Structure 1
Amino acid sequence: MTEAQRSFLVCASQRSGSTLLVESLRATGVAGEPEEFFQYLPETSRSPQPRQWFEDVTDESVLGLLAPFHPGTPDTRTSEQWRTQLLELGRTPNGVWGGKLMWNQTPLLLDRAAGLPWRSGTDLRSALHDTLDHDLQFIHVYREDVVAQAVSMWRAVQTQVWRDDATPPNLSDGAQYNALGIAHLVTILGEQERQWKRWFEEEDISPIEIGFRDLTEDPQSVVAKTLISLGLDGQLAPPPPLRRQSDGRSREWVQRYRIDAEQNGYPVT
């Protein structure tokens, strides 16, 4: 494996299957420790909370289903301290570093990189180079069905359960269907995907492309191919470490939303 392949970044949007990919890569013990390092807001030291995804929504039928805001604790690390820590945490002993970045997190990365004394530019590519590596391998994980993706996220922001290591989703988890909440997330997730595609094209980047359908249908095979693309041993691909969280209720909500969208003009992409 060459030095140019020793860092990779998974680029995605929420509920796209990226967690299944990075946890599978992590389980190999040789493909970095690809955390979602860029999600934490400096004012709270937490990832965006349910209501922060709906800051421009005023409808109480939506907001009433979401947990109240927790103030958290401010992150007082300097940009250099932040960078040093994420590089240490994301690397396996063989030198491979891995991480994950959602498009909505790019402003946080830009703000952090702006504080580095060797800052080379104000754009995203410069921020990634200054923070991580000039020869990053990009992996693009996407979900073909944005409505299903938004339904999955709508359930997650209500329950605050974002992954499942052992058991199928709880049908009594308290999550409630709400077309307006799902429509809001369809817009956000669809725009994130459009921004990734635009950025890859503008920067002339050809990432490793991984679709949700392929990943969930045969995760071990997809992970094996990804390892090979990173210059690692594909035979190290493990059985999937996470269970798929989609269930009959999610599929029912997807169908219900598509009907509501047709009748009310809600977005579907």
Structure 2
Amino acid sequence: MLVDPTTLLIFIAIGFAAQLVDGALGMAYGQISSTLLISMGVPPAAASAGVHTAETFTTAVSGISHVAHRNVDWRLFFRIAVPGIIGGILGAYVLTQLPADTAKPFVLAYLTALGLYLFYRGVMHQHTERQPKIVSPLGLIGGFLDAAGGGGWGAIVTSNLLVQGSNPRKTIGTVNTAEFFLTITISATFIAALGWKAFTVATSGLLIGGVVAAPFGAFIAKKVNPDTLLTFVGALVTLTSGYGLYRALT
């Protein structure tokens, strides 16, 4: 089947932009990609499957880049990755058995408030670094919501770790690297359920654009001032979650 180069380029641009933001700020690849794909007429199930399939490759490159730039806290990595995988398996199972929309508005309202708080702390330079105390439950909840709700790993885990005082650069790099293992789990579930139909032209474009952008995101996370990172994370969480909440309630 012939592929329209213009269509492919659009999906490549979406994948590049989404991964650049995700690699630099630790979240929003799924939210940005899924929202744009659905707005272009791609069915929600196909959009979610395509995004997660592409993420398997983009998170691998992003993780390698963050490791190379020494953005990863390995102790924190294991504390979120293992519960995240367990949560991802549970979320994928729930998605195939029960509707997960009931809790979505509450989660989005919580994230919107959290985003505003992070933005305020970044602007006011009030981020005091300390070791986060609540870690493993965040991985479990983040993995569950990412699989069951079509995204949210970075928004849940990154933002909550930052609220507890975790170093912004290390948090973003660690959450991005752990996401690779979570995404493999979720993508395997989609492929098992849908077959390779999940690998569409949209998936190919997202994959190409995301892989190209991944190293740049890790570089940005390393170089940008922690307060600036916190401000951008807060603004992004507020905008994406607020928009999602608006759509969920209307």
After TM superposition, the score normalised by the length of structure 1 is: 0.28
Q: Which has the higher helix share?
A: 2
Which structure is higher in strand share?
A: 1
Report the TM-score, using the length of structure 2 for normalisation: 0.29
